[in-house]
Amino acid sequence: MAVSAETERQVVKPALVIGAGPAGLMAAGELARAGLPVIVAEAKPSVARKFLMAGKSGLNLTKNEPFEQLLSAYGDAAGWLCPMLTAFDAQAVQDWAQGLGQELFTGSTGRVFPKVMKASPLLRAWLAELTGQGVEIRTRWRWAGWDGDAFLFETPIGAQRIKPVVTVLALGGASWARLGSDGQWAGLLAARGVELSPFAPANAGLLVHWSDHMTQHVGQPVKNIAWQAGALSSRGEAVISARGLEGGGIYAVSSAVREGAALTVDLFPDLSETDLSRRLAKPRGKASLSAHLRKSLNLSGARAALLMEFGRPLPQDPPALATMLKALPVRHAGPRPMDEAISTAGGVVRTALDETLMIQALPGVFCAGEMLDWEAPTGGYLLTGCFATGRWAGRAAARWAQAGVSAPMR
């Protein structure tokens, strides 16, 4: 008696993806394209919540810049991620989004966005494609570890078990727990002998205990400045918040600050110290120093507020004051708590994985996305890294399922 296609599908072990963020969905698509039945298990009631949240301020998909420059944004992990980013670079990200019907534009800084400046249309198109490929998404399925050789899940209908032919873990980092990235999976992997690096906040704002005079400046952006911490520098702006400093300029140097590097801000990145000293040396008569700074350097608003907050008592000597303006020490109380960070450092370390992102201690189990031990600044790099590693792990997992071996990727 002939076996129907549906019956045949039911007896074939599925490929399992745990986590329905960008990395997990990318992996699921690759597995489905390889002809495997795919189940995606997601702990939350809906998928890609952090992806959607990122899209509320304009979905920055990637950064349109030379590959070497893009790669350098991944810091110490650049060599590790290079093959994955080479295989799915910034242009590939754009081609993929456009293939899902999204019109894109590139801003003046090279950042690439959908013209609608939202994540939801792209996500809807993506999910429709995955559904058409036969991918099954099960929400409210929280991974609870293993039961023998089966993956165990807590679900609204009780404990459920899946014995997959291959698995991709795309469980996110440990920030924004309300959106699904709570890092609770780390204990499950550690119990199986998987080496992990401790989580730490990345792309995090700084806590600053402002003096009372800063209250009037809360919410103001600080522009035309440059931040320096250790070997990292950034020309990005920041925003004065009630609890400290936020924004892309701070996020870009946050890893160095987290490691203990002193933070300074250059209030005049387009002027040399000599230029500043010469302007400050002009006679000021009976004008106050703040009035002299405003008149000679056009220093006012949020930049002036930072100088008064961190520079008191201000040097009266023009060369000394110029030095301070070029490297104003920023006093802070460290990064914001990890759950308030945009992303996290730490996770599954490189040495725990082979070159295909398979966990060496767990053959047939692959990892992707933010749960890997890499970090990058905002500006499209985070999503590009998640897309690239998800694609890489998905393709490797498909090869494993089909051939039973973990072969080098190209």
CATH number of 13-201+344-403: 3.50.50.60
pTM score, whole prediction: 0.91
Other C-beta atoms within 10 Å of 347: how many? Answer: 26
Token digits of residue 388: 């690239």
In our burial notation (b when 16+ CB lie closer than 10 A, e otherwise), range 238-254 reads bbbbebbbbbbbbbbbb
Q: How confident is the model at residue 58 (pLDDT cuts 50, 70, 90)?
A: confident
Structure confidence by residue, pLDDT tens digits, 120-177:
999 999 999 999 999 999 999 999 999 999 999 999 999 999 999 999 999 999 998 8
**Whether the predicted pLDDT of 407 surpasses 70:** no
Helix (H) or strand (E) holding 50: helix 49-55
Structure confidence by residue, pLDDT tens digits, 336-350:
999 999 999 999 999
**Whether the predicted pLDDT of 277 surpasses 60:** yes
Cα gap 17→20, rounded to integer Å: 8
How do strand 166-169 and strand 15-18 relate by DSSP bridges?
parallel
The overall average pLDDT reported for the chain is 93
Structure confidence by residue, pLDDT tens digits, 231-256:
999 999 999 999 999 999 999 999 99
CA dihedral (334, 335, 340, 345) in degrees, to 10, reads -140
Cα gap 138→154, rounded to integer Å: 12
Instruction: Give the pLDDT score at 6.
Output: 41
Helix spans in 100-163 (H): 120-132
Cα gap 266→233, rounded to integer Å: 10
Mean pLDDT of 104-123: 95
Mean pLDDT of 312-333: 96
Q: How confident is the model at residue 77 (pLDDT cuts 50, 70, 90)?
A: very high
Cα gap 103→110, rounded to integer Å: 16
The helix-helix angle for 301-311 and 318-326 (nearest 10°) equals 110
Cα gap 187→192, rounded to integer Å: 9
Token digits of residue 154: 């807590």
Location of each CATH 3.50.50.60 domain in the chain? 13-201+344-403
Contact between 321 and 284 under an 8 Å Cβ cutoff? The reply is no
Sign of the torsion formed by the C-alpha atoms of 75, 76, 79 and 85: negative
**Whether the predicted pLDDT of 5 surpasses 70:** no
| β-pair partners for 227 | 234, 265
Instruction: Give the pLDDT score at 12.
Output: 60
Place of tokens 């013209």: 115
Cα gap 367→358, rounded to integer Å: 6
Cα gap 26→389, rounded to integer Å: 9
Instruction: Give the pLDDT score at 410.
Output: 33
How do strand 238-241 and strand 196-202 relate by DSSP bridges?
unpaired
Structure confidence by residue, pLDDT tens digits, 188-239:
999 999 999 999 999 999 999 999 999 999 999 999 999 999 999 999 999 9
CA 192 to chain centre: 27
Token digits of residue 299: 């220093």
